[in-house]
């Protein structure tokens, strides 16, 4: 059977294509860029913005929950986010930041600790 498929170039291409798709489907969370739990790392407050939209994020560490760290668990379900990324519109002082609201107004919140430079990042969505 292998010789028959190897002679037919279109059949060989089809076999390689199906094997590649099977590998991608089985590897799942090990190869996708969003390895968060259930691939659910979405920011609803900025989800409807047009492509090319750029926003600043503040990374806030989350308390870690007790969860299985096995490769099989990560492979099937992903892993929880260690950081909560909050889209922000501005900073005030050293421990306050403004977040989006559904009506487009600012809501000032206090972090409770000084904001470090490595807590901030800028992301452009394409």
Which pTM does this prediction carry? 0.52
Position 19 scores a pLDDT of 95
What are the residues whose beta carbons fall under 8 Å from the beta carbon of 75, sequence distance 6 or more? 27, 28, 29, 30
Residue 37 located in a structural domain: no
Query: Can you give the pLDDT of all 126 residues of the chain as single tens digits?
Result: 777 877 888 988 999 999 999 998 888 767 766 656 665 667 777 777 888 888 888 777 776 666 667 777 767 776 777 777 777 776 666 666 666 555 555 566 676 677 777 777 777 877
Q: Terminus-to-terminus CA distance in the chain, angstroms?
A: 45
- Whether residue 29 contacts residue 74, with contact meaning beta carbons closer than 8 Å, is answered with yes
Residue 103 located in a structural domain: yes
Residue 58 located in a structural domain: yes
What total of structural domains would you count in the chain? 1
Residue 6 located in a structural domain: no
Question: What CA–CA distance (Å, rounded) separates 56 from 49?
Answer: 14
Residue 108 located in a structural domain: yes
- Whether residue 36 contacts residue 62, with contact meaning beta carbons closer than 8 Å, is answered with no
Look up the domain containing 108 and give its range. 42-66+81-125
């Amino acid at each position: 059977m292998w010789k028959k498929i190897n002679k037919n170039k279109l059949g060989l291409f089809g076999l390689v294509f199906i094997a590649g798709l099977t590998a991608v489907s089985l590897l799942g969370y090990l190869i996708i860029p969003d390895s968060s739990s259930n691939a659910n790392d979405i920011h609803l407050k900025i989800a409807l913005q047009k492509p090319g939209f750029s926003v600043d994020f503040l990374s806030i560490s989350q308390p870690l929950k007790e969860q299985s760290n096995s490769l099989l668990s990560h492979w099937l379900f992903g892993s929880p986010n260690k950081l909560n990324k909050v889209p922000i519109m501005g900073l005030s002082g050293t421990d306050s930041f403004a977040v989006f609201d559904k009506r487009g107004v600012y809501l000032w919140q206090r972090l409770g600790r000084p904001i470090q430079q490595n807590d901030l990042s800028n992301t452009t969505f394409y």
